[in-house]
Amino acid sequence: MADRTKPSPVNVFPARRPTIRDVAARASVSIGTVSRVAGGSARVAEATRARVLAAMAETGYQPNAAARTMRTSRTRTIGFLIPDMANPVFSRVAIGAEPVLSAAGYMLFAVSSNRSPARELAFLEAAQQRQMDGLIVTLADETHGPVVERLGRIGVPLVILDRDVPVAADVVYSDHARPIETLVKQMVAQGHRRIALITASEKIRPGRARAEAFRKALAEAGLAAEERLIRSRAQTAEYGAAEAHDLLTGPKPPTALIAGGNEIFQGALRAIRLLGLSVPRDLSLAGADDRVLAELVDPPITVIDRDMAEVGATAARMLLERLDGLDAPPRRVLLGSSVVLHGSIGRPKGKR
């Protein structure tokens, strides 16, 4: 039996979204009090609070975020810019960051730039106009002037992932040098003298760091770095396949190959398969950033592996510290990478 003394929870005129004013009227309090209850902060008499909460439930009140932002200039929103959201290496970062941020009351919104600096600029502009409270950013090309400039003026806490950008922001980056060094050493120890590297463009830190580490490791092994064996222009599967094919069918082909980058790794595998080469008999191989693939192909391939969710969680924590008012010089956090060994690195042909 319906209790006629209680107002019906069904609104007769639900066209307009209820505002703080509707709730106030229903609870017979002022809008200030409703605001205090909604905000949860200031002290309100228990009985009043209960009346207001009931009125909120009955009207289906939802605070208007735009109005809040008008007053407070805060949105409880973090933007996450990634070059390619379909690449798990990037999207896993979001998986790691999200729980940290949501626990602190922030929503994480991911945007994929599709590796286009123009889209990156559009994102930064949108983030600024929407007054996002903080940003986590992975650039497609850290040499792009307008993007870097805009990042410098962004005016909100910013964490940059694995890029060297001349901007006063916190950075989380991965150790690319150590795994390359490990792999080169292992290949050299097996007797390889002609080792090739395919990796991302040197316009982004990972490509640069891997190429540099590669040259250094070769030098330390007493081997002359042959620039023809270093390919670092792009990070697509197509690029990986094309360069692998070119390397392996060219004069004096390498006996060992490091495919740095998950898409490059896929492409290189395809080229190797197409050429009918057997790993590690015809070619020793190491990949990166795709353990699943590495372990399911035959034979399983030794891979560089990174915990991208940890990258995301770390970035989120650093951002929260800034949002909490931390005023410190830009910080840089280096996260380790590991090498997962499988049997894909053997002795070069003719040396067994």
Partner DNA sequence: CTGTTAGCGCTTTCAC
Partner DNA sequence: GTGAAAGCGCTAACAG
Residues 6+ apart with CB under 8 A from 301: 265, 269, 279, 285, 286, 287, 293, 294, 342, 344
Q: Which partner in a copy of itself, DNA, none is near 130 (CB below 5 to 8 A by kind)?
A: a copy of itself
Select 34 or 200, whichever has its Cβ closest to DNA. Answer: 34
Select 93 or 127, whichever has its Cβ closest to DNA. Answer: 127
- Residue 9 contacts DNA per CB under 7 A: no
Helix (H, G, I), strand (E, B) or coil at 6: coil
Q: Which partner in a copy of itself, DNA, none is near 35 (CB below 5 to 8 A by kind)?
A: DNA
State the binding string over 78-97 for a copy of itself (x if CB under 8 A, else -): ------xxxxx--xx-xx--
DSSP, residue by residue, 71-133:
HHS--SEEEEEES-TTSHHHHHHHHHHHHHHHHTT-EEEEEE-TT-HHHHHHHHHHHHHTT-S
Q: From residue 230, how far is each of 135, 202, 222, 347 by CA, in Å? A: 34, 11, 17, 21
Find the binder of DNA among 50, 57, 70, 326 (CB under 7 A). 70
Binding residue count for a copy of itself, defined by CB under 8 A: 49
Q: Determine the length of the chain.
A: 352
Residue 297, amino acid? V
Q: Which partner in a copy of itself, DNA, none is near 16 (CB below 5 to 8 A by kind)?
A: DNA
- Residue 32 contacts DNA per CB under 7 A: yes
Select 47 or 86, whichever has its Cβ closest to a copy of itself. Answer: 86
Q: How far is the CB of 188 from a copy of itself (least distance, A)?
A: 27
Q: Comparing C-alpha atoms, which of 305, 303, 350 is closest to residue 193? A: 350
Q: Bridge-partner residues for 82, per DSSP? A: 112
Select 36 or 176, whichever has its Cβ closest to DNA. Answer: 36
- How is residue 81 written in tokens? 């810019």
- Residue 17 contacts DNA per CB under 7 A: yes
Select 181 or 263, whichever has its Cβ closest to a copy of itself. Answer: 263
State the binding string over 287-306 for DNA (x if CB under 7 A, else -): --------------------
Inter-residue contact 275 to 290 (CB < 8 Å)? no
Give helix then strand counts, H and E, for the chain.
13, 12
Residues 6+ apart with CB under 8 A from 162: 138, 171, 172, 173, 174, 204, 205, 206, 311
Rounded to 10 degrees, what is the CA torsion of 99, 101, 107, 111?
-90
Binding window for a copy of itself (CB under 8 A); candidates: 121-129, 198-206, 240-248, 337-345? 121-129
- Residue 75 contacts DNA per CB under 7 A: no
Binding window for DNA (CB under 7 A); candidates: 62-70, 173-181, 256-264, 284-292? 62-70
Find the binder of a copy of itself among 59, 123, 204, 303 (CB under 8 A). 123
- Residue 102 contacts a copy of itself per CB under 8 A: yes
The single residue listed with the structure tokens 């307008």 is 146
Binding window for DNA (CB under 7 A); candidates: 12-20, 159-167, 257-265, 287-295? 12-20
Write down the H helix ranges in 104-251: 117-129, 145-152, 177-189, 205-220, 237-249
Binding site for a copy of itself (CB under 8 A): 62-67, 69-70, 75, 77, 84-88, 91-92, 94-95, 98-99, 102, 107-112, 114, 119, 122-123, 125-126, 128-131, 237, 266, 269-270, 273, 292-293, 295-298
Q: Residues in the site for DNA, rule: CB under 7 A?
A: 16-17, 19-21, 28-36, 38-39, 41-45, 47-49, 61, 63-64, 67-68, 70-72
